[in-house]
Structure 1
Amino acid sequence: MLVLLLNAALISTGGAAEQKPNIIVINIDDLGYADIGPFGSTTKTPHLDRMAAEGRKLMSHYAAPVCSPSRAALMTGCYPKRALPIPHVLFPAAAVGLHPDEVTMADVLKEAGYATACIGKWHLGDQPEFLPTRQGFDYFYGIPYSNDMGTVADGAKNNPGEPPPKPRARPRPKQNPNPNQSPNLNVPPRKDDETGIKATAQPPLPLLRNEQVINRVKAEQQYELTLDYTMEAREFIEQNKDRPFFLYLPHSAVHFPIYPREEFAGKSPNGAIGDWAMEVDWSVGQVLDLLRELKLDQKTLVIFTSDNGGSVRHGSKNGPLRGGKAETWEGGMRVGTIAWWPGKIPAGTSTDEITSMMDLLPTVARLGGVELSADRKIDGVDIWPVLAGTVDGKAPRDHFFYYRGFRMEAVRFGPWKLHLDKKQLYHLGDDLGEQNDVYGQHPEVVEKLQQLALTMEDDLGLDGVGPGCRPLGRVVKPLPLIDLEGVVREGMTMGVNAVRFE
């Protein structure tokens, strides 16, 4: 599916041919646009401040409203519903996930000779068929979904010191027929919910190394996740310092429940979520300092971003943007992003050009010397000229469609953004906070954006699953990796038989 260029061992990013760069993508969970210093927070984030001073801020970078769709866009270079057509996010024991036939960023870079690792939260399917090791990653250490998808007793449903919620059991999704049948990715979809177990009926949260459950994540382990991910990331970098590597570091922080380590607790003026943002900043410093120490800083592109806007109800700040997580206001999908590569990306700069998660795959493919096959449609574009500050004339991307689940809720062209159902129009250049609706004043702009939205009607569709949406991966009998009795799914441990984590 991938075609290597003849000069795959060399790339040109500014004249001279050079070795392929290392790629690191640090993806924070639910980080608000203004939760870190470079984007206006009063929380002290010195390492991110330095990263921004040495790199380039992407002021108009788009993710998706929630976790799983955003990660699908990042991994596949597509609008989320093309590669992962689901209504919201994935939950434990989901029958569906990112199809193993999808070509991910890890697939692309592994084909180009990179060592690949995913360290952190995956959230594109928890069944063995959907894990990172089946999607191009040589190594995986982390949790298969969000850190709140565990049991009440294990501290997954409340912040430390807060009362746990009352039980709110929901039935498990119905299983496909014939439970004795082997998993089959081509079983036709059912009308019932296949996205997994929800609410307080969820099983314990597992920690995995590759495809083996190595721990049950309780409150004491929640405190250590950021530290553990960081140390694993540093070890991976050191082990692969003499060859090109791709490190995907999707932190569990700062998603609810909020578990900063003791040395950060109570240190931020923005409460617990600010404390955890400070620990994230520490982690970024650990990674960047190691690159400097190993003299890899001028050989490595690092992208720092968030999977969606911050959760306002959990304390995140998205100002000056309106709204937050799970919405298609700017605060739900525009995420504070920094690109860093000393000597290649201009220091202390920013750009208002439109960029998105799905643009990262074609960009790193270019840097890795890989030509993407034309037989698989992607929606991302190569934004290296934006990162390098060399855009001359037309920018790589001039429009963006805001999907929430299956539904397109808004469309942007240049500075104009139209909320389709709300019939509201905003000029983001003059009104970043989407406060001054000018729908009635610019009928010609409204018409143009409506027509732009209609171009997707026969592709991804404006609502529902359009003809351009690709199949989900699907298994017949999804099982929790750890059941409610604490028993690990057989085959997911080092031993032959299932074990129990009390």
Structure 2
Amino acid sequence: MSNSLSRLLAFLLLVSFLAAPSFAQEPALKPNFVVINIDDLGYADIEPFGSEINRTPNLNAMADEGMKLTCFYAAPVCSPSRAALMTGSYPKRSLTIPHVLFPANAEGLNPNEVTIAELMKEQGYATGIIGKWHLGDQPEFLPTKQGFDYYYGLPYSNDMGPAEDGVKSNYGAPLPKTKGKGQPPLPLMRNETVLQRVLAKDQTELVTNYTHEAIKFINAHQEEPFFLYLPHSAVHFPLYPGDAFRGKNEHGLYNDWVEEVDWSVGQVLKTLKDLGLDERTLVIFTSDNGGQTRFGAINKPLRAGKGTTYEGGMRVPTIVRWPGKVPAGSSSDEVVGMIDVLPTLVRLAGGKAPADRKIDGGDIGAILAGDKDAKSPHDVFYFYRGFDLEAVRSGPWKLRLKEGELYNLKEDISEAKNVAADHADVVERLQKIAAEMESDLGVKKIGPGCRPLGMAKNPEPLIGYDGTVREGFVPQK
């Protein structure tokens, strides 16, 4: 080979190396992914985000070793937020429901949706979900039909069941009687098998059991790339911290459960370190929506909480850790969210987001890599509550449509000072942006950009009101 040709080849190799994304991986060294999703955790419930009453040493360490995303948006409530995570799309686009899903609903995440788990499987990943699903409990909607190889957990929230089972009251409180027909018993599942009816004692063991199952999954798949989704039932009402944590925080059961969740995170991170998987594993810690202040959550300095489109309802505490890839002790205030997880992780896995449908999320890999010039993929972010578009954000400006209130979130994260009267031009611009969404997702009604909702025929509860497990979901003898 001539010297000139050798120099040319060397130059081309150098150019290709410099042009490659900073998170690029060789096929044999594909990264693992762990997404830990807490239920109803408040913005300031953990020390890295300002808690002064909860001890979260493991999350402190995770933040010290990774990046805090201080403007990470979820959705106001559970099911929509989880749909955004699974599909990379605004909830109204992929799960067009007014609120959340309930036991034995005919509706669910359409099996035609392409989930992050399905895209990971295409790249050779083992996929598992351990915890709360909440995207439909009928057979065609379960995780094992949506790209997950393994499932252990609850199909919906831990408060959805008959009152006498303890699902409507906190630990130690008298068990009320169910009024009327109520809800069917709450099932604990493994794959497509109902293991048991969940009672009060079982609720105290959820965090421990989820954690042990997660560790088993990591151990079982340490020799291959894996995607583990760990959506805890904690810290959703009813509050059931485990025996080892209950009563340890002087502020009550909610705070005990926050600290147990921190323990769980520590166990997962320790397992990754012990197995030598640390530098090959990206871990995301987040919450599905803002905290419920009436149960003890703290969202300060944000306004309001779960169920609203104020910052306290949708901006959630998020930490990303990947040693050697995500800069230690870093922070980003760029606008990102649940919808960005799919396009980001799938690209890191070597795949691509679906091209046959609209994906609202964007690849935030450059932000996570610490690129100071990296910007949010969202020129505009839309705040939906059910079918209604309640607010829009562009840059620092957030306009609440019904109220006509304008906030500069860069200067006023608490949404305390309405500056609409001083910025009529900004109000007009954001109103126009919001109106344009009528031709896509719709502003109040279901728009043409909303994809079909999954619908099951003859829906039945997994455990009947008489305690009988639905046919086909009973363990095989």
- TM-score w.r.t. structure 1 length? 0.89
Residue of structure 1 aligned with 2:347, choices 353, 357, 366: 366
Aligned to 1:218: 199
Name the counterpart of 1:178: none
In structure 2, how many angstroms separate the alpha carbons of the residues matched to 1:393 and 1:228? 39
Q: Distance in 2 between matches of 1:123 and 1:157?
A: 18
- 8 Å CA contact 2:339–2:361 kept in 1: the answer is yes
Structure 1 CA distance for aligned equivalents of residues 130 and 197 of structure 2: 17
Instruction: Give the Cα separation in 2 of the matches to 1:455 and 1:342.
Output: 42
Distance in 2 separating the partners of 1:479 and 1:464: 29
Q: Deviations over 1:327-375 (max 9, x none)?
A: 0110000000000000000000111000010100000111011022321
Superposed CA offset, 1:5-35 (max 9, x none):
xx9xxx8535774621001100000000011
Q: How does 1:23-102 map to 2 (within 5 A)?
A: 23-42=33-52, 43-102=54-113
Change over 3 Å in CA distance of 1:14–1:368 after alignment to 2: closer
- 2:328 corresponds to: 347
Quick one: structure 1 residues 120 and 14, their matched pair in 2 at CA, closer, same or farther if it must change by over 3 Å?
Answer: closer
The amino acid that maps onto 1:476 is K
Distance in structure 1 (CA, Å) of the matches to 2:402 and 2:32: 43
User: Is 1:114 aligned to residue 114 of structure 2?
Assistant: no
Counterpart position of 2:251: 270
Alignment of 1:122-161 (within 5 A): 122-161=133-172
1:332 equivalent among 313, 320, 327: 313
Distance 2:227 2:329 in 1: 25
Q: Deviations over 1:65-115 (max 9, x none)?
A: 000000000000000010000000000001010000100000010110000
Aligned partners of 1:391, 1:426: CA distance in 2, in Å?
26
**AA matched with 1:276:** W
User: 2:32 — aligned with what?
Assistant: 22
SS at match of 1:71: helix
SS at match of 1:121: coil
Match for residue 6 of structure 2? Answer: none
1:298 is matched with: 279
SS at match of 2:130: strand
- Give secondary structure in 1 for the equivalent of 2:64: helix
Secondary structure at the counterpart of residue 336 of structure 1: strand
Letter in 2 for 1:113: G
**Paired residue type of 1:434:** E
Identity across the alignment (%): 61
CA distance in 2, matches of 1:56, 1:488: 44
Amino acid corresponding to residue 133 of structure 2 in structure 1: W
Q: SS of the counterpart of 2:286?
A: strand
Give secondary structure in 1 for the equivalent of 2:117: helix
Unaligned runs of 5+ in 2: 1-15
Report the secondary structure of 2:437's partner residue: coil
Distance 1:209 1:17 in 2: 34
- Partner AA of 1:462 in structure 2: V
What residue identity is the alignment partner of 1:351? S
Q: What value does the CA root-mean-square deviation take over the aligned residues?
A: 1.5
Paired with 1:232 and 1:444, the residues of 2 have a C-alpha distance of 54
Please give the alpha-carbon distance, in whole angstroms, between the structure 1 residues aligned to 2:179 and 2:410: 44
Going from structure 1 to structure 2, the CA distance change for 1:428 and 1:349 (only over 3 Å counts) comes to same
> 2:468 aligned with 1:487, yes or no?
yes
Within-5 A mapping of 1:400-411? 400-411=381-392
Superimposed CA distance per residue, residues 457-485 of structure 1 (whole angstroms, 9 cap, x where no aligned partner)? 10000012111111111112100100111
For structure 1, list consecutive stretches of 5 or more residues without a partner in the other structure. 1-6, 170-199, 497-502
1-side partners of 2:391 and 2:174: how far apart?
38
Q: Is the 8 A contact 2:334 2:375 kept in 1?
A: no
- What is the distance in 1 between the residues matched to 2:26 and 2:376? 24
Equivalent residues, number: 457
* SS state at 1:457 partner: helix
Partner of 2:264: 283
SS of 2:48's partner is helix
Letter matched to residue 374 of structure 1: A
Match of 2:290 in 1: 309
Comparing 320-329 with 367-376, greater Cα deviation is found at 367-376
Would you say the 8 A contact 2:342–2:353 is kept in 1?
no
Q: Distance in 2 between the 1:69 and 1:243 partners?
A: 31
Which shows bigger deviation, 265-274 or 59-68? Answer: 265-274
SS in 1 for 2:151: strand
**Contact in 2 for aligned 1:354/1:399 (Cα 8 Å):** no
- Please identify, of 154-163 and 109-118, the stretch whose mean Cα deviation from structure 2 is larger: 154-163
Distance 1:393 1:36, change over 3 A: closer
1:67 touches 1:123 (CA, 8 Å); kept in 2? yes
Check whether the contact 2:162–2:178 (CA below 8 A) recurs between aligned residues.
no
- For residues 282 and 442 of structure 2, the distance between their equivalents in structure 1, rounded to whole angstroms, comes to 35
Which structure has greater helix proportion? 2
Q: Which AA in structure 1 matches 2:441?
A: L
Report Cα offsets for 1:396-452 as digits up to 9, x if no partner.
223210000000000111111100001101111111111111111100110111112
The structure-2 alpha-carbon separation of the partners of 1:252 and 1:438, relative to structure 1 and needing over 3 Å to count, comes to: same
Residue type matched to 1:45 in 2?
Answer: T
The TM-score, its normalising length taken from structure 2, stands at: 0.93
Give the Cα separation in 1 of the matches to 2:109 and 2:271: 33
Equivalent of 2:212, from 231, 237, 242?
Answer: 231
Residue 167 of structure 1, CA deviation? 4.0
Structure 1 residues 383 and 308: alpha-carbon distance in aligned structure 2, compared to 1, 3 A threshold = same
C-alpha distance in structure 2 between counterparts of 1:494 and 1:167, whole Å: 28
**Match of 2:187?**
206
Q: 1:337 to 1:419 in 2, by over 3 A?
A: same
